[in-house]
Structure 1
Amino acid sequence: MQTYGTTQQIVQQDNTENPRMGPTELEGKKYPAKAHAKKAKDFFLSKRPGGETSAAFFLGGADLLLYPYCDQTAPFRQNRYFYYLTGCEIPGCFVSFDLESEKLTLFLPDIDYDDVMWSGLPLSIKDAKQKYDVDEVLYVSEIEKSLKAFGSKEIFTTDTDVFKSKSFSTLVKSGDQDFFYALDEARLTKDEFEIGLLKHAALITDNCHKAVMSALPIETNETHIHAEFMYHSVRQGAKNMAYDPICCAGPHCGTLHYVKNDSSTENQHSILIDAGAEWNCYAADVTRCFPISGEWTKEHLEIYNIVSKMQDEAMEGIKPGASWEDLHLLAHKVLIKEFIKLGIFVNGTEEEIFASKASAMFFPHGLGHLLGMDTHDVAGHANYSDPDPLLVYLRLRRPLEKGMVVTNEPGCYFSPFLIEAGLKDPSKAKYIDMDVVEKYWYIGGVRIEDDILVTSTGYENLTGITKDPKEISAIVKAGISRGKDYFHNIV
């Protein structure tokens, strides 16, 4: 088996011959729902004078929804707050947690006997108790009785959207900001079980990215790249994407969240794919760029190396207590320094150009974001009203902590929309040599993104697929040498 990359993680072509249907280190272990509930309790009580425990949590999971005027259901996505307190992906469930007794109760949907012939028997109370880390399992029909048994205790929920028509909706208090704070802060740092899920999502994603790089003979359209990634994800047991994949070629790579994914790659040079698999509600988020021919052009490699340097220098600063804002601004400073060398930035010092905010014309988004059950995970404290164009789109605005998982994803884009807007500001335009910029339009943009766990002493990169341009070139060329017939035969 040939491997690529410089990390200790082995990246295979895919897991199709012997699929690993889950991380082996988690076999026989339950998702730690009770520990999560207790963690949320501690954060909630930190906001309450005297630490009053006379309260309870109650959450409804997502339910199946029918498309309008149709008997077909929309794709199911479990409520992430509910999943955090249960580890349960069954539609139509509820959960309660008594802060005083720390009793965690899961409520399963009542059995619809008319549906059994179509869908089979649902999970039993006994099997659910064995599968999930809860103290008690009841049916939904017992919710009202259970909530009334809390007596005078306040019962907090996020919202009543999935059960507003139920009589027990009047027994709960929704929208409490302390409750949201508790859930978000609890989810901020990941435990070993969650890290295991994230690592497995990352491994699947590594294999998918390598498969895309390897199968260019049959990828003549952005849609083919999208399909190739999803095919290998499903083959490995990950049936859901963490987000809509971004698969773009040439100038389209300059659109940050390009999701059309339907244009021909003919006569284009560059590919950017930003895609991540999901495993048990936990996400991977990885971006790789490569040349369609396997040969980097001078301009493409120049920009790729700049983005790589931005990522490397930011990476070295990742550790508990580090300011994510400072690392983000460091990436801007690296870009400015390298752009001066290329002649894109002129007529000023690094400090003057940084003060002008001109680098936001080429690097408009944040360095990265929190990652967990949501691709853009909770508790980042973003400030989208910040007047500073270098910081306004930064989704993480708090010091790093051990157990956080973040994406490190600097980028550099040649977008007419961004650059033309920036040129209208003389304080920025005076630093830009458009004759040099013209040489880079065809690239569109470059982004390199890895998933990073903050450890006690620094960081661990969960992403194993290579980003070395020479190794990427070798993978692409090896795929091209196999030809179309090879890939059509194996799929």
Structure 2
Amino acid sequence: MRDKCRAKLIEKIGGGVAIFTSAPISIRANDIDYEYRQDSDFYYLTGFEEPESVCVLVANNGHSKFILFVRPRDKEREVWDGKRAGTQGAIREFGADEAYSIKQLDEILPKLLDTADKLYYSLGKEEWFDKKILRLMRYYKRMRPRSGKGPSAIIDPSEIIHEMRLFKSDEEVEVLQQAVSIAAEAHIEAMKTVRPGMFEYEIEALIEFIFRKSGATGPAYPTIVASGPNATTLHYNSNRRRIEDGDLLLVDAGAEYRYYCSDITRTYPANGKFTAEQKTIYNIVLGAQLAAIEMIKPGVSFIDIHNKAVEVIVDGLLRIGLLRGNSEEIIKDEGYKKFFMHRTGHWLGMDVHDVGNYKVDDQWRKIEPGMIMTVEPGIYIPEETEGVPPRYWNIGVRIEDDVLVTEEGCRVLSARVPKLVDEIESLMAQQLG
């Protein structure tokens, strides 16, 4: 798959050289690093997971080269940090046409740039490498009138590669489906397991245990297990509260599998039975989500999917008296944002909030087959929300699925996780006995 990605990028850039750097190592505390995770663009093109690496793609008159600069083999360091691919492994295992030690970068990179008319490089990600590139460009600016060599412009390749990443191949869909399936299993087990009196972190631990047990790297983002009032905070992830009888539990958790992310949210009663008020709010959100998913098919504007969810939520809140007035005016004035303040979805892929423009030529883009997106409307009612009866306080509901756009319409990749009220209560009743 990586060779196809490189070939497509090389075709798009034409004559020129593209340079990509690996993700930096990040320090967690003192001399302890965070677990390393490769830069998504770098991995998309190379499949190479080691730090301190540089990928150079040379496109020149129909001839292309894939070159990797990597850490050299080092027996002493490998005892501590694990085996390195080295230059031979970069060629043998990762398909590089040429590979060099990262220590040779300053010597070899100028030779690769001499024949390029354009340099594709994303400034602003790595300051130390930015300085290296800008120093070379100053040199070429000075020497090019006499030598005719070297690039005359730096072009950000992000727009090109991110547009590529927005459209998933069949192989990518298969891998992402596995990430979704792992997360789906974890959500179902959490739904079966939760009881009043447990702590949020116990559910978090169960979910992330299933992720690792099932072959995922771990969570794609910090797992949210938000009970009672915590469910009204969008990105709550402290997960420390004791879950009380009568609470709703909002669980937003996704797995990362082979660099692809899932992102699923379910909300359900800790004691297995929705109260009347909880059910009312839940069914408004569910209706909005189902209506939004029904909209998804090629040619539909991304924003129209969100607008449909807003319409359903506004109508529902008007019906129960939490909003007052005319629905069109409320939507125009964004009066609903008191309860629903985020967009209905986002792209999903190697990053949980994946790359790709939502607008093209200043217009909301129309969705196309191969795109994967989330659909996640919500309603959040914190305690003492003005104008809201206390019986609705501390109700936070979000329902989120991962959806593939197909030629015919769409496919909900996370459909096996229960979300109808009867399904949820029935599943939980089996466990609660």
TM-score, structure 2 length as denominator?
0.87
AA paired with 2:223? Answer: P
Query: Which residue is equivalent to 1:354?
Result: 331
CA contact (8 A) 1:299 1:440 kept: yes
Q: CA deviation at 1:218?
A: 8.6
**Greater RCO, CA 8 A, separation 6+:** 1
Q: CA deviation at 1:369?
A: 0.4
The 3-state SS of whatever aligns with 1:64 is coil
AA paired with 1:473? Answer: E
The 3-state SS of whatever aligns with 2:218 is coil
Return closer, same or farther for 1:174/1:337 CA change in 2, 3 Å cut-off: farther
Return closer, same or farther for 1:217/1:300 CA change in 2, 3 Å cut-off: closer
CA contact (8 A) 2:70 2:101 kept: yes
For residues 327 and 271 of structure 1, the distance between their equivalents in structure 2, rounded to whole angstroms, comes to: 26
427, 430, 433: which one pairs with 1:478?
A: 430
The 3-state SS of whatever aligns with 1:351 is helix
CA contact (8 A) 1:403 1:455 kept: yes
AA paired with 1:448? Answer: I
Percent identity over the alignment?
A: 31
Any residues of structure 2 matched to 1:315-354 within 5 Å, and which?
A: 315-346=293-324, 348-354=325-331
Is 1:201 the counterpart of 2:152? The answer is no
Moved more, 312-321 or 34-43: 34-43
Return closer, same or farther for 1:124/1:415 CA change in 2, 3 Å cut-off: same
The 3-state SS of whatever aligns with 1:319 is coil
The 3-state SS of whatever aligns with 2:379 is strand
AA paired with 1:379? Answer: G
251, 255, 261: which one pairs with 2:229?
A: 251
**Runs of at least 5 residues in structure 1 that lack an aligned partner in the other structure:** 1-31, 46-52, 387-395, 421-433, 482-491
Q: Which runs of 4+ in 1 moved over 6 A?
A: 165-169, 172-175
Deviations 1:58-116 (A, max 9, x none): 11112434446x32222212111111111222222221111222221233311223213
Any residues of structure 2 matched to 1:195-344 within 5 Å, and which?
A: 195-217=173-195, 220-344=198-322
Is 1:149 the counterpart of 2:108? The answer is no
Q: CA deviation at 1:217?
A: 4.1
CA contact (8 A) 2:73 2:86 kept: no
Return closer, same or farther for 1:94/1:162 CA change in 2, 3 Å cut-off: farther
Query: Which residue is equivalent to 2:78?
Result: 116
Return closer, same or farther for 1:156/1:353 CA change in 2, 3 Å cut-off: closer
For residues 34 and 142 of structure 1, the distance between their equivalents in structure 2, rounded to whole angstroms, comes to: 24
**Runs of at least 5 residues in structure 2 that lack an aligned partner in the other structure:** 138-150
Query: Which residue is equivalent to 2:47?
Result: 87
Query: Which residue is equivalent to 1:36?
Result: 5
AA paired with 2:129? Answer: K
CA contact (8 A) 2:246 2:271 kept: no
Q: CA deviation at 1:321?
A: 1.7
Is 1:411 the counterpart of 2:372? The answer is no
AA paired with 1:401? Answer: E
AA paired with 1:74? Answer: Y
CA contact (8 A) 1:78 1:89 kept: yes
Deviations 1:386-431 (A, max 9, x none): 9xxxxxxxxx9422122111001111111359x55xxxxxxxxxxx
CA contact (8 A) 1:86 1:132 kept: yes
For residues 199 and 188 of structure 2, the distance between their equivalents in structure 1, rounded to whole angstroms, comes to: 17
Any residues of structure 2 matched to 1:413-432 within 5 Å, and which?
A: 413-415=380-382, 419-420=385-386
Deviations 1:20-62 (A, max 9, x none): xxxxxxxxxxxx222222333455x4xxxxxxx3311111112
CA contact (8 A) 2:2 2:45 kept: yes
The 3-state SS of whatever aligns with 1:92 is coil
The 3-state SS of whatever aligns with 1:287 is strand
Return closer, same or farther for 1:243/1:67 CA change in 2, 3 Å cut-off: closer
Query: Which residue is equivalent to 2:101?
Result: 139
Deviations 1:468-491 (A, max 9, x none): 22222222223333xxxxxxxxxx
Q: CA deviation at 1:122?
A: 2.4
Is 1:55 the counterpart of 2:23? The answer is no
The 3-state SS of whatever aligns with 1:89 is coil
Return closer, same or farther for 1:34/1:473 CA change in 2, 3 Å cut-off: same
Is 1:466 the counterpart of 2:426? The answer is no
Return closer, same or farther for 1:379/1:287 CA change in 2, 3 Å cut-off: same
Any residues of structure 2 matched to 1:380-399 within 5 Å, and which?
A: 380-381=357-358, 397-399=364-366
Return closer, same or farther for 1:356/1:67 CA change in 2, 3 Å cut-off: closer
Is 1:161 the counterpart of 2:150? The answer is no
For residues 38 and 449 of structure 1, the distance between their equivalents in structure 2, rounded to whole angstroms, comes to: 35
Query: Which residue is equivalent to 1:423?
Result: none
The 3-state SS of whatever aligns with 1:375 is coil
Query: Which residue is equivalent to 1:13?
Result: none
CA contact (8 A) 2:72 2:87 kept: no
CA contact (8 A) 1:369 1:380 kept: no
AA paired with 1:114? Answer: E
CA contact (8 A) 2:196 2:244 kept: no
Is 1:372 the counterpart of 2:349? The answer is yes
TM-score, structure 1 length as denominator?
0.77
CA contact (8 A) 1:366 1:410 kept: yes
Deviations 1:130-152 (A, max 9, x none): 54354344432343444233224
CA contact (8 A) 1:60 1:82 kept: yes
CA contact (8 A) 1:249 1:268 kept: no
Return closer, same or farther for 1:438/1:174 CA change in 2, 3 Å cut-off: farther
> How much is the aligned-residue C-alpha RMSD, in angstroms?
2.8
Flag the structure with higher strand content.
2
The 3-state SS of whatever aligns with 1:457 is coil
CA contact (8 A) 2:120 2:155 kept: no
Return closer, same or farther for 1:191/1:175 CA change in 2, 3 Å cut-off: farther
Query: Which residue is equivalent to 1:99?
Result: 59
Q: CA deviation at 1:280?
A: 1.6
AA paired with 1:452? Answer: V
* Count of residues paired in the alignment: 413
For residues 59 and 459 of structure 1, the distance between their equivalents in structure 2, rounded to whole angstroms, comes to: 34
CA contact (8 A) 1:283 1:373 kept: yes
